[in-house]
Amino acid sequence: MTSPNKAAIAEAARLIRAGSLVAFPTETVYGLGANALDAAAVARIFAAKGRPASSPLIVHVASLEAARALAAEWPDAAELLARKFWPGPLTLVLAKKPVIPYIVTADLATVGLRVPANPWALALLKQAQVPIAAPSANRFMHLSPTTAAHVRASLGDSVDYILDGGATQVGIESTVVSLAGSRPLLLRPGMISAAAIEQVIGKIEAAQPLTSADAHPSPGMHARHYSPQTPLVFQIPSQGRGAYLWITRPLEGAHNIKMPADAAGYAAVLYETLHKLDSEKLDWIAVERPPDSPEWAGILDRLTRASGAGPRPAVS
């Protein structure tokens, strides 16, 4: 990972304060950022992404104290989780203070907050001196970007500035936990596992996956989210040209791609691999189903979503 370029950070911070859109690396994926306190700037995020107004954005801050200042309530569980996992890939959903405009939270009375563990993101947040609302820096429903080149390819001129801090490390989106209700709720699994969270605050419930496209308390719960353009499947189709992402063993006769056998390694290269394969215009991408254990839950979630509602290849 490269260390932040001072001139680039200064320019990006100036643009954020001026109401422009800046794409920047976090440890999960690249974000498309705007001043979270500026409703007009945040509206430009939705326009650039083609994202429906019903999908709330995560607000990024430089420190635990900065997060606390944006939450109307700060339960003990928030303090414990923030101390344990921040900076890091965990988003906490809490009752919001009025200073956060409703466009950021899709009209919800809650806000998703996190301190990212990436030196570029932290330098930008510190210098901009405002919280930064940022979803992934891609057109809505497309694969999240893990490099600056992915951002450029997906958003082109609709982003004012791209901070290029190299490839992201975690590789999939943050774990999202709601602490706004009577009991903690896992809204989106990620690389900080439910098991790791339970070690800190006790039992947490998993949100029911949605079956319909409407009514989504969390944008990550959209049916067809996180998907490549190429259909992704768990069973190798008998026709067409495709690639097989394997973990434990390759398949004879297939275009085999070896994936890391550990969850962290797999997540780190998953989107990069899918971006690459997408450009090969294959008929399908088949994946070996990862283990059904807590540390793989975030990966299994993204793969299942990607396979779920995309167009299916013809199978005879």
Q: What CA dihedral angle connects 252, 258, 263 and 269, to 10 degrees?
A: -140
Q: Of these, 26, 55, 91, 136, which contacts Mg ion (CB under 5 A)?
A: 136
CA distance 198 to 122: 27
90 binds, among ligand AMP, Mg ion, none (CB under 5 to 8 A by kind): none
Question: Residues 81 to 100: which contact ligand AMP by CB under 6 A?
Answer: 91, 93
Q: Is 105 in the site for ligand AMP (CB under 6 A)?
A: yes
CA distance 157 to 136: 16
CA distance 7 to 313: 48
Please report how close the Cβ of residue 266 comes to Mg ion at its closest, in angstroms: 19
CA 98 to chain centre: 25
Please report how close the Cβ of residue 144 comes to Mg ion at its closest, in angstroms: 5
131 binds, among ligand AMP, Mg ion, none (CB under 5 to 8 A by kind): none
Q: Of these, 26, 35, 110, 146, which contacts ligand AMP (CB under 6 A)?
A: 110
Question: Residues 205 to 244: which contact Mg ion by CB under 5 A?
Answer: none
Please report how close the Cβ of residue 136 comes to Mg ion at its closest, in angstroms: 3
Compose the 140-179 pattern: x for residues touching ligand AMP by CB under 6 A, - for all others. Answer: ---------------------------------x--x---
Is the CB of 142 or the CB of 263 nearer to ligand AMP? 142
Count CB atoms within 10 A of the CB of residue 153. 16
Is the CB of 174 or the CB of 243 nearer to ligand AMP? 174
Q: Is 55 in the site for Mg ion (CB under 5 A)?
A: no
176 binds, among ligand AMP, Mg ion, none (CB under 5 to 8 A by kind): ligand AMP
Residue whose token pair is 């780190």: 268
CB 272 within 8 A of CB 148: no
Q: What angle do the packed helices 194-201 and 76-85 form, to 10 degrees? A: 130
Q: Is 111 in the site for ligand AMP (CB under 6 A)?
A: yes
Question: Residues 203 to 262: which contact ligand AMP by CB under 6 A?
Answer: 217-220
Q: Of these, 135, 298, 310, 313, which contacts ligand AMP (CB under 6 A)?
A: 135
Please report how close the Cβ of residue 29 comes to Mg ion at its closest, in angstroms: 7
Is the CB of 271 or the CB of 284 nearer to ligand AMP? 271
Interface with ligand AMP (CB under 6 A): 56-58, 91, 93, 105, 108, 110-112, 135-136, 173, 176, 187-188, 217-220
In the complex, which residues of this chain contact Mg ion (CB under 5 A)? 136
